[in-house]
Amino acid sequence: MTKILNYLWRFWLLLLAFVLTVIIGIPVYILSFNKKHYRYAYKFVRIWCYGMFYGMGFRYDLIKLSDQEKDKNKEYVFISNHTSIMDIMLTCILFPDHPICFVGKKELVKIPIFGTIYKRICVMVDRTSARSRADVYRRCAEKMEEGNSIAIFPEGGVPDDTSVILDDFKDGAFILSSKHHSPIAMYTFIGLKEMFLLKTAKGTLEGSKYISTELWSLPTLPETLKKRLIRK
């Protein structure tokens, strides 16, 4: 019975994604042609994320580990562990005042309709191409100069092995933060992966401090933050 419910739930996920993408994707696509209008496009992106997150029955609790408040006039590099597609929705929900540009896999461009919009508003990277990986820094820098923040999942994707709590970090987010002197805002998602198995009704989110890479030596930074992300 659980298996049948799981298939029905996933079918609803695809149907909801299709309907919301068709309806909300039109204004996002139009606004994306002018870089100055991305902050308006981002409002529609957040509506799409709200629809997906809550429409699929997800809920979250935010546990703040710091009293620091985000500066509305500053660009951040947001990082977190990556457990499911819902990590993306929740990231946008959490940051209404910081238009976010995601760094994502180039393969997602192949998804009908969604891919057309995706390549307009995200920084795509072909992980098999050294040139593409190197060019990410330039394109992210352009996005940040336009007033946007960057969201990167340092693991590089959702681990195939579901028993992996946290995979090895890539250096991209930390190099970007160091080069452009933008603080890193770190969050930990807990429970979203399990919700895909219909075992729980609510995920937990832990918000950590904003960290300036100037206080760290770059070679040790990813491993240091990785230890902070793992829930003890």
Contact (CB, 8 A) for 150 and 166: no
Q: What is the pLDDT of residue 218?
A: 47
Strand partners, 62: 205
pTM above 0.85, yes or no: no
- Given this model, what pLDDT does residue 161 score? 56
* Gap between the Cα atoms of 125 and 105, Å rounded: 5
C-alpha–C-alpha distance, residues 226 and 76, integer Å: 18
CA angle 183, 184, 188 (to 5 degrees): 155
pLDDT at 202: 59
pLDDT value, residue 15? 95
- Is 152 within 8 Å of 80 (Cβ atoms)? no
The per-residue pLDDT string of the chain (232 residues; one tens digit each, 9 = 90 and over) reads 677 877 888 899 899 999 999 999 999 999 999 988 999 999 999 999 999 999 988 888 888 777 777 888 888 888 888 877 888 898 999 899 999 999 888 888 888 888 889 988 998 888 778 788 778 888 888 898 888 999 988 766 555 555 555 656 667 677 777 777 788 888 888 777 666 655 555 555 655 545 444 444 445 555 555 555 554 4
Burial class (CB in 10 A: 0-12, 13-18, 19+), 106: middle
Residue 82 pLDDT: 80
